[in-house]
Structure 1
Amino acid sequence: MPVPLFRSLVATAVVMLAGLVASVPADAVPAGRSPGVAVLPAGFLWGVASSGFQSEGDTPDSNWRRHVLSGASPDRIGTSVDFRHRYRSDIALAAELGARVYRVSIEWARVEPRPGVVDRRELAYYDAMIAAIVAAGMRPMITLDHWVYPGWVADRGGWADPATPGLWLRNARRIVDRYARFDPLWITINEPAYYVVQEVATGALPAVAAPAMVDRLVAVHRSIYDHIHRRDPDAMVSSNSAYIPTVEPVIDAQFVDRVADKLDYLGVDYYYSVSPADTGAWHAAIDEQWLAPVAADGLYYALRDYARRYPATPIYVVESGMPTRDGAPRPDGYRRSDHLTDLVYWLQRATGDGVDVIGYNYWSLTDNYEWGSYTPRFGLYTVNVESDPTLTRRPTDAVAAYRRITAANGVPTTYRPTRPAEFCSLVAAPSSCTDPVR
């Protein structure tokens, strides 16, 4: 997650809620509902997620490649996990997990390396990769923009240039026209709010141009949504928002609320939690994600909040996972397998309380390049990029857990989380504290 936005929003949330929490006596907090785990529908979509820049390796000229080469990032990207050449074996690993969806991005910087010049070799790579996902029995989830654009667009000013939306749409329509026949799920723009802040943080966008970039992202989403539906009236199209505790409704006013009529499902990414007992989410703001709290019950509150604010729209958890430092055990002792299973429990609790959740993607199948560093590890399969030239995929304890989950279509109704719910979660405060689930 981008450092400046996360830091400021967590600080805002803590300040806003300090008085609230102090003013709510312990005996005023309701006991919550009795435990009950819903059985998920047979068509529930279990998946894994990735992005091109973070996993393909040997990236072409782009805004992010330039940022990395400037020395601003602690680690060079190099080969990353070499998904570019190992996609068939990684897709096979996902299929063995029982995944039904594989999220990928199709990188504009590869497809159009120079203005108006389409690289047919790169399109052939994406043709083969998408076809391999389908052949393995999975549905592609295609991200059109995962924060990366060609270097020649950066030369023109990136999203500060009024011409960028038209160039973006030209490429996006090309991708949609080529892959609509595979009936993918579509993500137009990955985490739009973070995209804007990341552009400012890396120096690619003047801060004064941020509102204009938001407006342009809204415009291109609305336009490409219509184009996708002209090609496939039954298409499922969305964008995914990184859920920030407490202040998410304020963030959503900038993008989600403005495109809500052109979302076939709500995409939500959930990672970090906040509570009076553990306000350590600030660790994620200083690139120590493995120290940030990841209370799984926060997913319940994020889903409940979205269901209350957008009651007519189904929800898909596009990204969710847990970071470790170089694959070592977390200081809090939380294992990836337990966290994953707990997340699924709380997802099923949300569906039992009437929240329409249609799918869940784990971030990510393998470790990858986390926007400047290989230290944070999120993968179901760990890959030691900097010390293992073979880039061997080694299963974590969560691989077996995810196989059990997909085979059973969730956790058993008798399952109880390995950790109790937070006494006063601030994920969707004040309701997550004053109307808790137990």
Structure 2
Amino acid sequence: MIDRRQALALGAAAMAAPGLARQPRDAFLWGAATAGHQVEGNNVNADIWLLEQMKPTLFTEPSGDACDSLHRWDQDVAIVKALGLNAYRFSVEWSRIEPAEGQFSQAYLDHYARIVASCRAAGLAPVVTFNHFTTPRWFAARGGWEADDAPALFARYCDRVARAMAGGISHALTFNEP
């Protein structure tokens, strides 16, 4: 795994390489992707976080602080841009947006909207994934994806997120590894 400094160095080296022919690639997205639970850190309201904390646990490496992308997302956007890419796919953590059933966090909706705006300002297409394998604890406790009302609950969450970011999302994906 490479850290932020190594990624920036690789990006700088790629941009400085005189032998690389650059072709217009407007129609194709060349990007980097992250999964919120794996990079943001301290996703304490997620079902997987709970499983990671159990003793014994199946997870050899709990996510913990991860790489603190929750607070360092602006550096992630800068790295993607420095690498010469044109898209950044990131996931929105449902457990942050709706930590308790029916209670939505405007602060986190605003947080993810700032990431979208930052991508746009950097010339990156923001590709938003609504679910990247974690769900809120309350959702899991109700039976998760097998619950009869799971589609309606997920649709309500997606609607709330999409409305908060409607002006900036380039592409949206419903699931990545549910």
For residue 72 of structure 1, report the CA deviation from its aligned partner. 1.8
- Check if 1:99 corresponds to 2:85: yes
Distance, in Å, in 2 between the alignment partners of 1:145 and 1:183 is 15
For residue 162 of structure 1, report the CA deviation from its aligned partner. 0.6
For residue 180 of structure 1, report the CA deviation from its aligned partner. 2.3
The amino acid of 2:60's aligned partner reads P
Tell me the residue number matched to 1:66. 50
Distance, in Å, in 1 between the alignment partners of 2:117 and 2:133 is 24
Q: 74-83 or 39-48: which moved more?
A: 39-48
For residue 41 of structure 1, report the CA deviation from its aligned partner. 5.6
The DSSP-based 3-state class of the residue aligned with 2:110 is helix
Structure 2 residue runs without a partner (length 5+):
1-21
Tell me the residue number matched to 1:190. 176
2:159 to 163, 167, 173: 173
Q: Percent identity over the alignment?
A: 33
Contact 2:110 2:164 in 1 (8 A): no
Contact 1:94 1:102 in 2 (8 A): yes
For residue 124 of structure 1, report the CA deviation from its aligned partner. 2.0
Tell me the residue number matched to 1:48. 32
Contact 2:44 2:50 in 1 (8 A): no
- Check if 1:130 corresponds to 2:116: yes
Distance, in Å, in 1 between the alignment partners of 2:160 and 2:134 is 17
Q: 181-190 or 82-91: which moved more?
A: 181-190
Tell me the residue number matched to 2:131. 145
Distance, in Å, in 1 between the alignment partners of 2:88 and 2:25 is 18
The DSSP-based 3-state class of the residue aligned with 1:142 is strand
Question: What per-residue deviation string (whole Å, max 9, x for no partner) do you get for residues 303-332 of structure 1?
Answer: xxxxxxxxxxxxxxxxxxxxxxxxxxxxxx
Distance, in Å, in 2 between the alignment partners of 1:148 and 1:101 is 23
Distance, in Å, in 1 between the alignment partners of 2:161 and 2:137 is 19
Tell me the residue number matched to 1:207. none
Distance, in Å, in 1 between the alignment partners of 2:62 and 2:175 is 25
Equivalenced residues, count: 154
Q: TM-score normalized by structure 1? A: 0.34
For residue 148 of structure 1, report the CA deviation from its aligned partner. 1.1
RMSD: 1.6
Distance, in Å, in 2 between the alignment partners of 1:60 and 1:123 is 17
For residue 80 of structure 1, report the CA deviation from its aligned partner. 0.2
Distance, in Å, in 2 between the alignment partners of 1:88 and 1:169 is 28
For residue 169 of structure 1, report the CA deviation from its aligned partner. 0.5
Contact 1:106 1:143 in 2 (8 A): yes
Distance, in Å, in 2 between the alignment partners of 1:143 and 1:127 is 13
Question: What per-residue deviation string (whole Å, max 9, x for no partner) do you get for residues 113-167 of structure 1?
Answer: 0011111221221122221111111010100111111100111111121111111
Distance, in Å, in 2 between the alignment partners of 1:170 and 1:42 is 35
The amino acid of 2:116's aligned partner reads I
The amino acid of 2:98's aligned partner reads E
Q: TM-score normalized by structure 2? A: 0.81
Distance, in Å, in 1 between the alignment partners of 2:83 and 2:175 is 27
The DSSP-based 3-state class of the residue aligned with 2:161 is helix
Look at both structures and tell me which one has the larger radius of gyration over its CA atoms: 1
Distance, in Å, in 2 between the alignment partners of 1:49 and 1:149 is 19
For residue 184 of structure 1, report the CA deviation from its aligned partner. 1.5
Q: After TM superposition, list the pairs within 5 Å mapping 1:16-415 onto structure 2.
A: 42-43=25-26, 44-70=28-54, 71-191=57-177, 195=178
Structure 1 residue runs without a partner (length 5+):
1-38, 196-438
Contact 1:60 1:113 in 2 (8 A): no
Contact 2:125 2:170 in 1 (8 A): yes
Question: What per-residue deviation string (whole Å, max 9, x for no partner) do you get for residues 46-95 of structure 1?
Answer: 11111111100011311111221122211221110110011111211111
